[in-house]
Structure 1
Amino acid sequence: MKARLGDITVAAADQADLIRIEGNWYFPPESVDFSLLEPSDTPYTCPWKGECQYYSIRAGDQVRKDLAWAYPHPYPDSFDKVGRNYSGYVAFSKEVEVAD
């Protein structure tokens, strides 16, 4: 699976390595090109996953705000709901195409 913003591939991994949470594919950290991501100061805390880290994506000379997010230190109780540890896995907004 690949996460692409236009012709830029932001992440790529086998589907078996991804985690599906609430309709979003979460990519393992090692599959993400963090050189394209800039941490955002947008605050958000999910009631069951914990504190979220948003990222903006650099696409050429543009920075697209808050198109990716991760939970660096999710609540441990959430691992039971998800089925495994997803710490640091990165998901993308609908503006980023995630497909085979």
Structure 2
Amino acid sequence: MQASWNGTVIASSDDIVTVDGNAYFPVSSLVMDHFTPSDHRTTCGWKGVAHYYNVVVDGQVNNNAAWFYPEPKEAAESIKGRVAFWRGVSVA
């Protein structure tokens, strides 16, 4: 699978974990030049606290378009070290 935004591939992997309909890519599959840390946080009752990255392509920024759980709860341990996307990021 690949994740892309604005015509640029930002992650690619055959090792995908799907949770709640979202494809979680290994962190190692991300093209890190296209990611900057975000201070945004949200909480999921069963997964824990989500942290976010901004996605950057050709100087355009898609705020909080990628999320991950650095310390997921036990029920969501399968997504530790993985990142998912939204906000117009295409995953196919």
Question: TM-score, normalization: structure 2?
Answer: 0.92
Distance 1:8 1:97 in 2: 10
Counterpart residue identity of residue 76, structure 2: S
Q: Which residue in 2 is equivalent to 1:95?
A: 88
Q: Which residue in 2 is equivalent to 1:3?
A: 3
| Residues 49 and 71 in structure 2, CA contact (< 8 A), matched pair in contact too | yes
Q: Deviation at 1:88?
A: 2.0
Distance 2:2 2:76 in 1: 25
Larger Cα-atom Rg: 1
Distance 1:27 1:2 in 2: 9
Distance 1:77 1:12 in 2: 25
Point out the more displaced range, 65-74 or 86-95: 86-95
| Residues 38 and 53 in structure 2, CA contact (< 8 A), matched pair in contact too | yes
> Deviations along 1:31-87, whole A, 9 cap, x unmatched?
1112211111112111110111111111111111011101111012333xxxxx221
Counterpart residue identity of residue 89, structure 2: V
Q: Deviation at 1:94?
A: 4.8
Q: How many residues align?
A: 92
Question: TM-score, normalization: structure 1?
Answer: 0.85
SS of match in other structure, 1:74 = coil
Distance 2:70 2:76 in 1: 13
Q: Which residue in 1 is equivalent to 2:79?
A: 86
Matched-pair identity in %: 38
Counterpart residue identity of residue 12, structure 1: S
Structure 2: segments with no counterpart, 5+ residues = none
Distance 1:78 1:27 in 2: 14
